[in-house]
Amino acid sequence: PMYLFLGNLSFVEVCLTSTTVPKILVNTQTLSKDISYRGCLTQVYFLMVFAGMDNFLLTVMAFDRFVAICYPLNYTVIMNPRLCVLLVLLSWLIMFWVSLLHILLLKRLTFSSGTAVPHFFCELSQLLKATSSDTLVNIILLYVVTALLGIFPATGILYSYSQIVSSLLRMSSSVGKSKAFSTCGSHLCVVSLFYGTGLGVHLSSAMNHPSQGNMIASVMLHCGHPMLNPIIYTLRN
């Protein structure tokens, strides 16, 4: 199961980086900061899909580590191939439809031809600030989705690791503790990096004017985080 989830995580992070970086490189080469309306909406859609998938996969991987350490004898029964594939497919379906709903509501809004997005990519929250239309429905949906797809997975990760820590404290063997910690070490590093930079981005985006710190956190989330993950997991494996 670990390698199934790692394979999906690698694919998602390649796609996440490819959603923004190629356009940035083109703009740098041509000295132009323009992006088409369709291109902007497409970028928003895929950013939401892949960022959400990143979040879901990290949660599923935390559940996998929880079962492996707390229920080792039943691990192969609980984390069977059918359940693992179902968890991944369910995550994809949820993010495809939630992102599509955001885009359909975004298409109702009016933007001028010279709309400036104060960011290096098209972000949903910044687009909602740039429109002259009423965005109440969009903002409500954004908050609801953030609560459901952000807080619940984070809570699941915290619960999984609280149970893991509880199991580790009950272990008498130092070798067993060391092995269990090494199993979770890579995932903990990646989770800390993802949620740390993600929290910085969203807190900065809540302000009216994006700061330089917001830009740096965004670069770390969309470029640095996917670049460091393979290094972290390669060193572990």
Tell me, yes or no, whether 65 lies in a domain. yes
Tell me, yes or no, whether 220 lies in a domain. no
Query: What are the CB-based long-range contacts (under 8 Å, 24+) for 156-163?
Result: 156/59, 156/62, 156/63, 157/58, 157/59, 157/62, 157/191, 160/62, 160/63, 160/65, 160/66, 161/62, 161/66, 161/188, 163/66, 163/70
Tell me, yes or no, whether 184 lies in a domain. no
Angle, to 10 degrees, between the axis of helix 225-236 and the axis of helix 174-205? Answer: 180
Tell me, yes or no, whether 200 lies in a domain. no
Positive or negative, the CA dihedral 198, 203, 208, 210 is negative
Asked whether 205 and 123 are in contact (CB, 8 A), the reply is yes
Q: Of 144, 1, 151, 136, whose CA–CA distance to 65 is shortest? A: 1
Tokens found for residue 70: 């707390």
Q: Give the C-alpha separation, 38 to 102, whole Å.
A: 14
Per-residue pLDDT of the chain (237 residues; tens, 9 = 90+): 888 998 898 899 889 889 988 888 888 888 888 888 899 899 999 999 998 999 999 999 999 999 988 888 999 999 999 999 999 999 999 999 999 999 999 998 888 888 888 778 888 888 888 888 888 898 899 889 888 888 889 899 999 989 888 888 887 777 767 777 777 777 888 888 788 777 766 665 555 455 566 667 677 777 777 777 777 777 666
pLDDT value, residue 213 = 62
Max CA separation in the chain (angstroms) = 67
Cβ-based neighbours of 96, under 8 Å, separated by 6 or more: 49
Asked whether 8 and 67 are in contact (CB, 8 A), the reply is no
Q: How far is CA 180 from the centre of its chain?
A: 25
Tell me, yes or no, whether 115 lies in a domain. no
Domain hosting residue 13, numbered range: 1-110+121-173
Count of structural domains within the chain: 1
Asked whether 92 and 53 are in contact (CB, 8 A), the reply is yes
Tell me, yes or no, whether 198 lies in a domain. no
pTM above 0.95, yes or no: no
Residue 91 maps to which CATH number?
1.20.1070.10
Angle, to 10 degrees, between the axis of helix 174-205 and the axis of helix 212-219? Answer: 140
Tokens found for residue 112: 């001028």
Cβ-based neighbours of 62, under 8 Å, separated by 6 or more: 156, 157, 160, 161, 187, 191
Q: Give the C-alpha separation, 89 to 40, whole Å.
A: 26
pLDDT value, residue 234 = 73
pLDDT value, residue 88 = 95
Tell me, yes or no, whether 4 lies in a domain. yes
